Structure 1
Amino acid sequence: MPELPWFAPHRPAPHAEVHAMASRFETRTLLGAFRFFARTPRIMWQIRTAPGAHGVTLRARLLRRTFWTLSVWESPEALHRFAGSDPHRSSARALKALMKGSDFVSWTTGADALPLDWSDALQRLDGNRT
């Protein structure tokens, strides 16, 4: 299934500390997974112009009804501004009833660590479940 390559809309300053966030979403049904995936292009386009966005990638396993995101922001506030604006905000509200579960984990890292590694992000998400 699809994995969108790392995209960096705005480069952080060298040696800057950045805010990373990984998420995992699972839908209740396969139809829900297709609805989730159908909204992905608009959200990815939004990130391209979001102030403070330093990188993003997505993994989608439609038949498993599971999606992972990995993004980097200049600050937690930049991430919250993005999440609270449309189309992300309206998409999250529309999809809420279709979701079986979700997990989130955030951490700080150096700009020199970009692009982030999926294996580290997945370990952090798995550690967050316990």
Structure 2
Amino acid sequence: MPTLPWTVPNTPPRSTDVHVFASRFETRTVWGALRFLARTPGVWRQVSSAPGAYGASLRAQPFRRTFWTLSAWESAEALKDFARTGTHAPTSRGLAAQMRDAKFATWTTTSDSLPVDWNEAFRRLG
């Protein structure tokens, strides 16, 4: 799966602070990676219409069992609402046992800096 390009569900106001979230997931097995891939379209549909979502992208290296997400939100609360509802909530619970490792990073930037650069996300995820 190639990188899903930066998608803008809601256009942010100019020169406003946005909450950025980056994650890296590594599955235990290739089977776990395939399960992650199979569930990606549902979560992607959810984020593409999520209230407060200003942008999102996904990078996948399924044969290396590694996935990265990068998203920008109106607020930390908008991100939490997304994560607790819709397809994302049962998907994340269902995939938890498949995960070998997960890392997360959050920071604030301005809407004028979107889309967020993947290199910045990789740097913050270590």
TM-score normalised by the shorter chain: which range applies? over 0.9
Partners of 1:108 and 1:33 lie apart in 2 by 30
**Residues 4-31 of structure 1: per-residue CA shift (max 9 Å, x gap):** 0000010110001000000000000000
Partners of 2:50 and 2:10 lie apart in 1 by 9
For 1:48-127, list aligned pairs within 5 A.
48-126=48-126
Q: How big is the shift at 1:86?
A: 2.0
SS in 1 for 2:92: helix
Structure 1: segments with no counterpart, 5+ residues: none
Q: How big is the shift at 1:2?
A: 1.4
| Letter in structure 1 aligned against 2:31 | L
Task: Provide runs of 4+ in structure 1 moved above 3 Å.
Answer: none
SS in 1 for 2:67: strand
SS in 2 for 1:25: strand
Q: How big is the shift at 1:49?
A: 1.2
Q: How many percent of aligned residue pairs carry the same amino acid?
A: 53
SS in 1 for 2:57: strand
| Letter in structure 1 aligned against 2:104 | F
| Letter in structure 2 aligned against 1:71 | S
Number of residue pairs matched? 126
Partners of 1:69 and 1:36 lie apart in 2 by 12
Partners of 1:108 and 1:15 lie apart in 2 by 12
SS in 2 for 1:103: strand
| Letter in structure 2 aligned against 1:120 | E
User: Superposition RMSD on alpha carbons, in Å?
Assistant: 0.6
Partners of 1:38 and 1:73 lie apart in 2 by 25
Q: How big is the shift at 1:93?
A: 0.5
